[in-house]
Structure 1
Amino acid sequence: MVSDQQDGAIIGRKSFTAVAINCAAKAGEWIKTKLGNYEKLDTKMSAQDLVTEVDKGSEKLIKRLILTHFPDHSFLGEEGVEPGPEASAKALESKLQDEYLWIVDPIDGTTNFVHGFPFFVVSIALAYRGEVIVGVVYDPLKDELFLAEKGKGAYVHGKRMSVSPEDTLGSGLVATGFPADQQYALPLNMKGLQALAPQVRNIRSGGSAALHMAYVAAGRLSGFWEIGLNSWDLAAGSLLVQESGGQVTDTSGRPYHLGVRNVAASNGHIHGELVDALTKAEAAE
């Protein structure tokens, strides 16, 4: 049992999880009230990389709640980091040695939120010495909360999740995204898409990496890959998949860690085929 000391009381993993759930739920409910009602839309690293005051407000709400309970913990949120892969990597590196690190995407799927497309989530993870121990992904429009605790399984609607049974790439439904980085990540991802489309049952692209990962964990997708993601896109989802019996690596098949940007996640059964197909297409990294 991982524990923390605060005001003489032991704060165990259960309390970490309770705080994560509470933060995701409160942020999600507030985001719902802003759907179709945001005031300002800005771009970050490209015209496809959007941010609104709702993203920033959600992150502020989550950060305030977390630090109220755990003032000595570190916090890494998307909106507190300058755009671009170099800034993201530097921000993560500066906090990787911290004992407890909360990793938050206040709205994963901002473009969907802006257009009213119902596929966006709040993603909250807690890492202990660099290893994710709690992951929560909350879809406020469907009121679905995906939860995982290290070594304790993953759940949705209070029911234990398990990955899908497909055992070949050809029988799999997989997902990917269309990265905002048009110079490096998007062309590489498109090579993977072109190679995999004829080899799988079908491909989906919902526009939220965290929710795609949650769907792999819940058995709704057989696999997911994408190039050029960040720690806040993947941290919570990585634990969901692993605790549901699936596998998460980088696109070359190396073990997942918080610095992974090019990810492959699956039910485990098709993982070798998925990684091999990306490698053969020179679409892994």
Structure 2
Amino acid sequence: MSVFAAERVVAINAVLRACKVCQNVFKQLVNSETITKKDASPVTIADYSAQAVVNTILYNSFPNDPIVGEEDSGDLRGDTGKVLREKILSLTNSVLDESLDEEKLLNAIDRGSYPGGSQGRMWTLDPIDGTKGFLRGEQFAVCLALIVGGNVQLGIMGCPNLPVDFNVPEGERGCLFIAEKGQGAFKRNFSSTEETKIHLADISSVSEASFCESVEAAHSSHGDAAQIASLLGITKPALRMDSQCKYCSVARGDADIYLRLPTRADYEENIWDHASGSILIQEAGGEISDMNGKPLDFSLGRTLKANKGIVAANPKIHPKVIEACNKHFNK
């Protein structure tokens, strides 16, 4: 029986509405000129709007639950933030049942200021994961997770541009992924409430596997991944996409291995970048760890401890991927 049935319903509602506001921002504010000029303002507006939407819905149902979020309202206050603030307010109210005023909007955004830690309940939110994918009209995700005592218990991810069927890339898009500790992993389309249980692909050998990796080489080292693939005898081309959609794609069997290989030794991961993805992989029958094979630690605050990178894969091949990674990095 689900321990977090009420939280599950509320979180699904929050993520779907946040996805809708992001889609509205894209339709209204992103165009060829925006991309040509590398104008990131639509991402900023979508980030703030999505965080305000999710935080408002969570607060209405669970007012005592703190939230670890990515944004704060500092740049939106005063005369300098007026134009941006008004756009965000209008977009936020377009998907909420009860309209916010400016002060309630700013307060909602600032509910994401909790520092995290190992005690009690908290939510962690990435309002738009995959900003460049968002601007390109490709993959991005709204990611929400419930953490209790430092352990992820519930993860919801909305992927507005992810094809419902991997084999029909031009078909229907919009997928919601849901995972609760001990309850399995599920997928549903944005157009339906019917949920389907998902699993990682069952492959017999690591050489049959395929990688899922970032589009941007600056986010995860393509060169290292290619050499690790060679060590494993993998010849299939990598599936490249932005955001935590990579976790979703591996969880439903589109690809088999997600490698997160930082391009800088001092790079620090944030808990909102991996919390919902990690439980989705686990509940879909996969294994996820750092490069030492240790579980990801979400109890240390806003920063995630992930030694030298992250590996998510089928348990049958996970140790071999770890071994190949260490062989490559220690040569």
Does the TM-score normalized on the shorter chain lie above 0.5?
yes
How big is the shift at 1:202?
A: 2.5
Contact between 1:247 and 1:267, CA under 8 Å: does it hold in 2? Answer: yes
1:43-77 deviation digits (Å, cap 9, x = unpaired):
xxxx99x9421111111111111112111111011
How big is the shift at 1:218?
A: 0.9
Amino acid at match of 1:30: V
Contact between 1:132 and 1:236, CA under 8 Å: does it hold in 2? Answer: yes
| Alignment match, 2:88 | none
User: How far, CA to CA, are the matches of 1:17 and 1:136 in structure 2?
Assistant: 8
Q: Given the alignment of the two structures, is residue 20 of structure 1 paired with residue 20 of structure 2, yes or no? A: no
Q: Given the alignment of the two structures, is residue 125 of structure 1 paired with residue 145 of structure 2, yes or no? A: yes
Task: Structure 2 unaligned segments of length 5 or more: list them.
Answer: 75-111, 162-172, 189-194, 263-268, 299-303
Contact between 1:38 and 1:53, CA under 8 Å: does it hold in 2? Answer: no
User: How far, CA to CA, are the matches of 1:78 and 1:128 in structure 2?
Assistant: 19
User: How far, CA to CA, are the matches of 1:130 and 1:275 in structure 2?
Assistant: 24
User: Given the two structures, how large is their TM-score scaled by the length of structure 2?
Assistant: 0.69
User: How far, CA to CA, are the matches of 1:55 and 1:146 in structure 2?
Assistant: 20
| Alignment match, 1:8 | none
Contact between 1:36 and 1:114, CA under 8 Å: does it hold in 2? Answer: no
> How do residues 56-135 of structure 1 correspond to structure 2 at under 5 angstroms?
56-80=48-72, 94-117=115-138, 119-135=139-155
> How do residues 47-62 of structure 1 correspond to structure 2 at under 5 angstroms?
51-62=43-54
| Alignment match, 1:217 | 251
How big is the shift at 1:264?
A: 0.7
Q: Of 194, 205, 208, which residue of structure 2 is paired with 1:168?
A: 205
Which of 1 and 2 has greater Rg?
2
Contact between 2:25 and 2:45, CA under 8 Å: does it hold in 1? Answer: no
Paired residues, number = 255
Amino acid at match of 2:25: K
User: How far, CA to CA, are the matches of 1:224 and 1:92 in structure 2?
Assistant: 29
Give the secondary structure class of the aligned counterpart of 2:275: helix
Give the secondary structure class of the aligned counterpart of 2:68: strand
User: How far, CA to CA, are the matches of 2:197 and 2:113 in structure 1?
Assistant: 31
| Alignment match, 1:150 | 181
Name the structure with the higher strand share: 1
Q: Given the alignment of the two structures, is residue 193 of structure 1 paired with residue 238 of structure 2, yes or no? A: no
| Alignment match, 1:247 | 287
C-alpha spacing 1:74/1:166, structure 2 compared with 1 (3 Å): same
Q: Given the alignment of the two structures, is residue 203 of structure 1 paired with residue 260 of structure 2, yes or no? A: no
C-alpha spacing 1:225/1:93, structure 2 compared with 1 (3 Å): farther
1:157-196 deviation digits (Å, cap 9, x = unpaired):
211111111132211111122668x6xx75xx24522312
How big is the shift at 1:140?
A: 2.1
User: How far, CA to CA, are the matches of 2:209 and 2:113 in structure 1?
Assistant: 33
Contact between 1:120 and 1:139, CA under 8 Å: does it hold in 2? Answer: yes
Q: Given the alignment of the two structures, is residue 264 of structure 1 paired with residue 311 of structure 2, yes or no? A: yes
User: How far, CA to CA, are the matches of 1:269 and 1:81 in structure 2?
Assistant: 45
Select between 189-198 and 212-221 the one with higher mean Cα deviation: 189-198
Q: Where do 4+ consecutive residues of structure 1 move more than 6 Å?
A: none
| Alignment match, 2:168 | none
Give the secondary structure class of the aligned counterpart of 1:245: coil
Contact between 1:108 and 1:233, CA under 8 Å: does it hold in 2? Answer: yes
C-alpha spacing 1:166/1:30, structure 2 compared with 1 (3 Å): same
User: How far, CA to CA, are the matches of 2:24 and 2:215 in structure 1?
Assistant: 27
Amino acid at match of 2:45: E
1:225-283 deviation digits (Å, cap 9, x = unpaired):
11344211110011111011100101221122222342110122211111111111118
Question: What RMSD over aligned residues (CA atoms) do the two structures have, in Å?
Answer: 3.0
User: How far, CA to CA, are the matches of 2:239 and 2:159 in structure 1?
Assistant: 18
Amino acid at match of 2:252: A
How big is the shift at 1:92?
A: 10
How big is the shift at 1:134?
A: 0.6
Give the secondary structure class of the aligned counterpart of 1:281: helix
1:88-130 deviation digits (Å, cap 9, x = unpaired):
xxx999321341110111111111111222x111111001111
Q: Of 130, 136, 139, which residue of structure 1 is paired with 2:159?
A: 139
Task: Structure 1 unaligned segments of length 5 or more: list them.
Answer: 3-11, 42-46, 83-90
Give the secondary structure class of the aligned counterpart of 1:58: helix
